[in-house]
Structure 1
Amino acid sequence: MAYVIYGAGAIGGVLGARLHTAGCDVRLIARGTHLSAVRSGGLRVESPEGTTTVPVAAYESPAEAGVEPGDVVILTMKSQDTSAALGALRAVAEPSTPVVCAQNGVANERLALRLFSHVYGVHVMFPAAHVEPGVVQARSAPVPGILDLGRYPAGVDDVARSVAAAFTKAGFVSEPREDIMRWKYRKLVMNLGNAVTALCGVDDADAEEVMALLRAEAEAVLAAAAIDVIDEETDRARRGDILRMPPFGGQAPGGGSSVQSLLRGTGSIEADYLNGEIVLLARLHGVPAPANELVRQLAVVAARERVAPGSVPASELLARLRA
């Protein structure tokens, strides 16, 4: 059995490297200069524990990587790239292929279930970075992340238990969970601040006030939609003190994956599937979500115009929201 890691950026790169080092058969799918760098020199993994170069196989597409019966495909691309990725995957993989969504947001699993019968969600608590071709960073040590997972929309089966065991073997904390989407919705609320950090930077004193508005709005929307969400206290207890992030030399700028999208100048950002998920639910259930809509729109424009992180003062966002 092989683990096909589809999207070898921050999460996929570190996860694939750790699984490979643990003795699993791993195939990475990457693109562009990152793929070229991994093919020519291996995948460089930096962390507080030091730097290693992992000679993991890397491919350009599912067709090139190959997906055999018994393989598990782990999606780790940003949500805006999932639909196209699934289209390429279905051309070479059986409909019964297990597809594991190790991604933020809550839309990926539903997209995958249209095409594949065995879909799994992962509650990703995994601080990582990718801003340079051929290089990924794991920011937490000695445990790189927490990767609880379960079958979508609910349940646990042998595949979920097997993948959790592989994650554990690779150094992660991982448990199978019957109610994985309740946990993923809590993570969605946390991730609403990603766009704010990308727009305003990590040092803007007013950014936390904007994030509080986004999250309060989201809680009201989720309640209106009657979506059951793990409470904050339970989520904090699960994290405990597992994730520890001491500084290390050459550490990429903080602020999360949306900051990294702007730093790499990709032209796209995940806000449509984070803040945009709250906007969608608000529209479906007839409640307002102006804060998430404003931040979503500004983040998309920032990514499209390739502006630098921190280009929009949080005070400007607050003024517009209060107008």
Structure 2
Amino acid sequence: MALAGHEVVLVARGAHLDAIRRDGLALHSPEGRRTLRLPAVGAVDAHEWRAGDVAVLAVKGMDTDGVLRPLAAVAPPETPVLCLQNGVANERAALRQFANVYGVHVILPATHLAPGVVVAHSAPTPGGLDLGPYPGGVDETARTLAAGLREAGFASEARADIMRWKYAKLLMNLGNAIQALCGPDADGIDKVDALLRAEATAVLDAAGIDVASPAEDAARRAGLLTIKPVDGTARGGGSTWQSLTRGTGSVEADYLNGEIVLLGRLHGVPTPANELVRRIVNRAARDQARPGALTPDAFLAMVP
């Protein structure tokens, strides 16, 4: 967004914030390396919010409430809030504080392992960020935001049914935890992923939740990404794998697999595999275990 000429203020924490302030934000991509000197603050209430500002939430689900509470105290109530996040609980949480909430369907192969450094693995289009008002419909703000994202190089459409797409992404993200525990290339990981999705599909059917079909999702992704080598950085695993690798102490499994567990309990559908992987990966994060400590077969043997 900044490279496209938009005014951007970053909010970051800890060593990441320190590195951005000291050295700038390093953006590595197949097209080269850039260092962006951008204003960065340590909390949302350290920015002087104005009419016309847009809040982009890019934290994981377990950190959403901690951002929304101080944001609601300083940002104008009409501020558009974009949930550029995985999971389906962030929009509902944001709607308690702000009237104009927009879900974003995130298709974005990126890696963040070192403070101050973000690697985008696709070029020339870094990813897809379709968006729409929560819980549904399309408005002029959504169209304007999508246009701004396209100016920044992303594929972006304003969608009236954005949550159908976010539930489809949720199904894909159920494998994040087992990938983090076993490693992204572990033999047999596809069997675990299929089991997690099968439980989730049964739950979503029981709950009557509409989900974008695999065919729709494949059509949206067709030709969207072009994964290329990025000098000096191998592409590893997804966001949960990255959290374990960085030793952050927490992961967002409660808002991915845990969403399926919650719906299963509400609608009387058993979800033993999703509950097990949720508990194991949370314990691994607390213990700061490294990825690869478990095998897919060992996990399947533990499923009740």
- TM-score, shorter chain, exceeding 0.5: yes
- Structure 1 counterpart of 2:199: 217
Q: Any idea what SS the aligned residue of 2:2 has?
A: helix
Query: Residue 17 of structure 2: which of 24, 35, 60 is its match?
Result: 35
CA deviation digits over 1:241-280, x for unaligned, max 9?
2111112222254110001101111100010000000000
Write the distance in 2 (CA, Å) between the matches of 1:66 and 1:224: 45
CA deviation digits over 1:200-254, x for unaligned, max 9?
0012111110000000110000000000001001101000021111122222541
- Structure 2 counterpart of 1:7: none
- Structure 1 counterpart of 2:33: 51
Write the distance in 2 (CA, Å) between the matches of 1:29 and 1:66: 12
Length-normalised TM-score, structure 1: 0.93
Query: Residue 305 of structure 1: which of 273, 282, 287 is its match?
Result: 287
After TM superposition, give the deviation of residue 180 of structure 1 in Å.
0.2
Aligned amino acid, residue 50 of structure 1: G
Query: Residue 190 of structure 2: which of 190, 195, 208 is its match?
Result: 208
- Structure 1 counterpart of 2:244: 262
Write the distance in 1 (CA, Å) between the matches of 2:112 and 2:100: 29
Conserved? CA contact 2:121–2:235, under 8 Å? no
Query: Residue 173 of structure 1: which of 135, 150, 155 is its match?
Result: 155
Aligned residue pairs, count: 304
After TM superposition, give the deviation of residue 53 of structure 1 in Å.
0.4
Query: Residue 108 of structure 2: which of 112, 123, 126 is its match?
Result: 126
Q: Any idea what SS the aligned residue of 2:102 has?
A: strand
Query: Residue 226 of structure 1: which of 178, 189, 208 is its match?
Result: 208
Long gaps (5+) in structure 2: none
| 1:163–1:285 distance in 2 versus 1, CA, 3 Å | same
After TM superposition, give the deviation of residue 145 of structure 1 in Å.
0.4
Q: Any idea what SS the aligned residue of 1:242 has?
A: coil
- Structure 2 counterpart of 1:10: none
Runs of 4+ in 1 over 6 A off after TM superposition: none
Aligned amino acid, residue 178 of structure 1: A
Conserved? CA contact 1:46–1:137, under 8 Å? yes
Write the distance in 2 (CA, Å) between the matches of 1:314 and 1:32: 34
Long gaps (5+) in structure 1: 1-18
Q: Any idea what SS the aligned residue of 2:75 has?
A: coil
Length-normalised TM-score, structure 2: 0.98
After TM superposition, give the deviation of residue 109 of structure 1 in Å.
0.1
Write the distance in 1 (CA, Å) between the matches of 2:15 and 2:174: 29
Conserved? CA contact 1:150–1:177, under 8 Å? yes
Conserved? CA contact 1:129–1:252, under 8 Å? no
Write the distance in 2 (CA, Å) between the matches of 1:274 and 1:252: 26
Write the distance in 2 (CA, Å) between the matches of 1:118 and 1:233: 30
Q: Any idea what SS the aligned residue of 1:203 has?
A: coil
Identical-pair percentage: 57
1:189 counterpart = 2:171: yes
Write the distance in 2 (CA, Å) between the matches of 1:95 and 1:149: 20
- Structure 1 counterpart of 2:7: 25
After TM superposition, give the deviation of residue 320 of structure 1 in Å.
1.2
